[in-house]
Structure 1
Amino acid sequence: GLNVLRIINEPTAAAIAYGLDKKVEGERNVLIFDLGGGTFDVSLLTIEEGIFEVKSTAGDTHLGGEDFDNRLVNHFVNEFKRKHKKDLSTNVRALRRLRTACERAKRTLSSSAQTSIEIDSLFEGIDFYTSITRARFEELCQDLFRSTIQPVDRVLTDAKIDKSLVHEIVL
C-alpha cells in the first residue's frame, strides 16, 4: 500500500541519513565505509546542490563483522583451553553464548579501551571471566583491518580523486 517515489542505492541512503545533503554549498566528496555483518562496501559519492552521484564502488563480499567476531571467539576458545584444559569448541550452546558475548565486547571496544566477558557456567559448569583490551583486539584482527585499505584505494583511484579531496567519511 506504499507509493514508491524512487529507489536509491545504499551509499546515497547512508549519506542522506547523516544529513550530508544539507551541508555547505559547493561540491562535496564523501567516502562511505560500510563494514556490515557479512560484507564490506566502500563508495565515493559527489554531492552538489542536493544531487548525489556515485563515482565508484568497491568492497569485499567475504569480509564483515562476523570475521571480527570469529577472531574473538577463537581467541577465547584458546584461552579457555589454556586455563581449564577443556575444549568448548564442540559444544554448540557454549559457542553460541561465547559468540554473543564476543559481539557485545566488539561493540564495547569501539568506545572503550577495555571490556570484560563474564559467562556463568559456560562449559561443564566452569564460569568464564576474562577481559580484552582494544589494542589486543586490533592485534588479533590486524590483517582484517588492513584488508579494507585496498578497496578504499581502488575507489579513490577509480574515481580519480586524491584522498586529500575527500570532505567527509561516513563509517
Structure 2
Amino acid sequence: MATEKAPAIGIDLGTANSCVGVFRNGEVEIIANDQGNRTTPNYVGFTDTKILIGESAKNQVAMNPNNTIFDVKRLIGRRFTDDNVQSDMKHWPFTVINQGGKPMLQVDYMGEKRTMAPGEISSMVLTKLKESAESHIGQKINNAVITVPAYFNDAQRQATKDAGMTAGLNILGIINDPTAAALRGT
C-alpha cells in the first residue's frame, strides 16, 4: 500500500500573529501550535543560550526587548529609506540598521552581535508553523500557500516566498488575504 501524500498547508503570515491550516476531509482545519493555540505570535527572541519562537519569545520580551524581534512583516522586502520603515523604527526596542539600502536586524545571540535579514526571522516563524503542522498531520510537509496583504509589492511577495523556501517549504503560491478569505467562503 502506498503512503498517502502529505497535503499542502496554508499559512496566514500576519503582522502580529500567524496561523497554519490544512484542507482535509472536506474542510479547513486550523492547526494548534505546541502551546495549544491556533495562532502563533510572530516573535523571535535571542538569548545567551537559545532562540525562542512564538509564545516563549513574546513572554520574555519585557526582560529582553533589544533581542526580541517582532513586526518583521513591516520590514520584509522594503528599503531602509522607506517612510514606513523609518516611522516604524521609532517604536521598536530592537535595532534596525541600513545594510546596502536594506533594513537589517541586529541582535546579541550567544554573546555575539548578529545581523539578520527580516526574511530570516520570518523563516524561523514559518519553520515553527511547519513543524506544528507536521506534528499534527504525522507527515513531513513540503508544500505550502502563504497569504500576504493585497498591498504587498513584488519585492515583499518575493521576500515572503524566499522566507518560506528557507523554512524548507515549496511555495505553491503567494495569495492576497482578501482572496484567501473569499476562497474560504466558497
Is the pair's TM-score, using the shorter chain for normalization, greater than 0.5?
Answer: no
TM-score range (shorter-chain normalised) is 0.3 to 0.5
Larger radius of gyration between Structure 1 and Structure 2:
1
TM-score, normalized by length of structure 2?
A: 0.35
Q: Return the structure number with greater helix share.
A: 1
